[in-house]
Amino acid sequence: MVYGGKPSTGCHLCRKRKIKCDEGRPGCRNCGVYGRPCPGYRPDAVFRNETRKTERLVRKDASSSSSDSDSQNTTTPSTPADHSGVIDIRRGNQTREHSLTTIQIADSTWEHRAICYFFDQYTISAEFEDGMSHLEYVPNLYARAVERNDWKASSSCLRHAVDATSLMTFGNISNAPQFVMKARQGYGKALRSLRDALAEPSTAVQDETFAAVVLLSLFEDISGERNGLYSSHTAGFEFLMKVRGEGQLESQMGRDMFNFAFTHTVCLFTAHIFQKHGIDFFLLQFVEILALGDKPRYDINWVLSFLDSNDPIERLMLAASKISTLMLAIQSSSKPPDQATVESWISLGRECDFELSQWTLHLTERWLPLVVYSSQGDALLTYNHISNTVVWNYYRAARVMLQQLLLNLNRSLLAIMKKKSKRGGSASTQSPLSEDSLRAIIQEMTTDVCRSIPFSLGDVDTLGRSIRTTDGNWTIRAGQGYGLLWPMWYILSSGMPTPEQVSQIRTVLSRVGSKLGIKLALTLAREAERIRGDLSSGGAPESAPESGLSS
C-alpha cells in the first residue's frame, strides 16, 4: 500500500491525550501517573484508508498509459473474462469524470485495501461524534488478532467476519462481482468459526465473538440478504447478551456492543410485527400468537436494568423499549380483550408517550436541533453531528409508531363502548383520546424527520449552506448512512406521510442503497411500499373500521 508516513508508536491513551509517550513496557508510566491502566500500543499491522491516494496514483498511471497508447495507436479493452485480480474503481454506481483504468494487482493487496475502506467508512470514533461511536472497537480487536497470529475460535470468527464484510462492502461500492463472491466464501468461513466459538463457554463470552456476530449482521445488511426484514443473527445476539451477563457493561467496548445488539433485537421485533400484520394487527383482528422465536428470548426488564438513564442514548432506549413491552402485552392476550383491558393498554401507551416526550426536555444544548433556512427558504433542522440526527430520528419514529398504536386502541375502545350502548348499557361513547392530537404528533414527527434529511445526507452544513465536493462524493460515511435506515422505514411504512414526504424518504433509501452500497436500504424501500399498499387496500390507519374487537 502507499506509504503515508511513519505512524505514532505511542500507546493509545497518550495518542488520544496528544502527549509524548515514554513507550515503556508493558505499559507507559504516563498512564500510571494519569491514574489509568495503559491500554497498550498500536500493532505493527496498521490498516489505513489509502483509497484516495490509490486513486490519484492510478489516475496518474492511467494518464501516462493513455499517452503511450496514443503514440502506439493500440488499445486493450477489458472484458468480463479479465475480472480475476482486476478492478475498475468507482464510487457507488457513478463512474468518476476521469474514469480509472483497470489494473492488475495481487488479490491480497485488494483485500487489505478493502479492510482499510471498510474501517474508514463504518468505524466512527466517539471522540469526534459527541460520544456516539459505531464499531469503534473492531479495528483494535482485529489488529490484535492479526498481530498475535491468533486463530483460536473467537479470533478466527472475527478475522473471517472482518474480511468477508470488508470485501462485500468494497465489492458493492466498486461493482466488482469477484469481491462479492470471495466475500460470500469468507462469510461461510466466519459462520463455521462462530459455531465453534459458541460451542465453548470460555470463547462464547469473548469480545471477539460478540464483535463477529455484529459484523455478520452488518454483512447481511450490506449484501441485502435478509429474508424480508428478518435477520438470521438476532438469536445470536439474544444468546450472547444473556450469557455475557452484567460484566459486559464494565467496559465501553462491551457497552457499545450491548447497545448495538439490544437496538437490533428491539427494532427487529417491532419490524416483524409491523411487516407481518401491519399496525392494525393488534386491534382489527386477533390471530394466533406469534411463535416464541419471533419474541425476544431474554427478560427485557433484566436488560433494561443495565441501561444508564443519565446517558441520552440509553435513556431513549429505556423509554422506547416500553413500546415493545406494550406490544408483548397485547400480543400475549389469548382472547379478544374487554373494555378494561383496552383501557389499561391505552393508559400504558400514554405513560410511554409521556416518558418519550420528556426525553427531549433533558438534553444538553449540544444535542438540540438548530432551525435554519436553505437558499430556497425551506426550514431545515441541523445538528452538531450527523449521529445526533440519527438518534433524534429514532425518537421520532418511536413516537409515530406509538401514536398509531394509540389511534387504533382508541377506535377499538369506542367500538366496544358503542356495542355496549346498543345492548342497553350505560357505557359512555365519548372518545378517551383526541385523534386529531395523535395525528398532529405523527405529522410533526414526520415533518421534522424530513426537515433533517438534507443535513443527514451531508447536503448542507450546520448553518444550512449547501455542501459541494470537488469529486462528487458524499461527505457522509457509510456507518452514518446505515443509522438512517430503520427510522426512515418506520416513517415511510406508516402510510401517513404526504406524497412529497414519501418522495423525500424514498430518495434517502435509494441514495444509501446505491451510493453507499447498503442493499438493506433497497429492501426496506420495497417492504415499505408493500406495507403502504396493504394499508391502502385494507384501510389506512385514518380509516380503520370500528368493528375491531368484540367484547
Angle (CA) 354 360 365, round 5°? 160
C-alpha grid cell, residue 134: 459505531
Domain limits for position 450: 248-543
Which pLDDT band, with edges at 50, 70 and 90, does 375 fall under?
A: confident
Segment 352-368 shows an average pLDDT of 92
Q: Which helix (H) or strand (E) holds 371?
A: strand 370-373
269 within some domain: yes
403 within some domain: yes
190 within some domain: no
Structural domain count, the chain? 1
State the sign of the Cα–Cα–Cα–Cα dihedral 338, 343, 348, 353: positive
Higher pLDDT, 208 or 544: 208
Tell me: pLDDT of 324 over 70: yes
289 within some domain: yes
Which pLDDT band, with edges at 50, 70 and 90, does 427 fall under?
A: low
Quick one: which of 272, 260, 269 has its CA closest to 218? Answer: 260
207 within some domain: no
197-211, 280-294, 318-332: which range is least confident on average? Answer: 280-294
502 within some domain: yes
Which pLDDT band, with edges at 50, 70 and 90, does 285 fall under?
A: very low
317 within some domain: yes
Tell me: pLDDT of 177 over 80: yes
Write down the pLDDT at residue 441. 95
Which pLDDT band, with edges at 50, 70 and 90, does 82 fall under?
A: very low
226 within some domain: no
Write down the pLDDT at residue 439. 94
Amino acid at 505: I
pLDDT per position as a tens digit, 450-472:
999 999 999 999 999 988 776 66
Tell me: pLDDT of 350 over 70: yes
Whole-number average pLDDT of the chain: 73
Segment 238-262 shows an average pLDDT of 61
Segment 217-230 shows an average pLDDT of 81
Beta-carbon contacts of 161 under 8 Å, excluding residues fewer than 6 positions away, are: 186, 187, 190, 194, 211, 212, 215, 216, 219
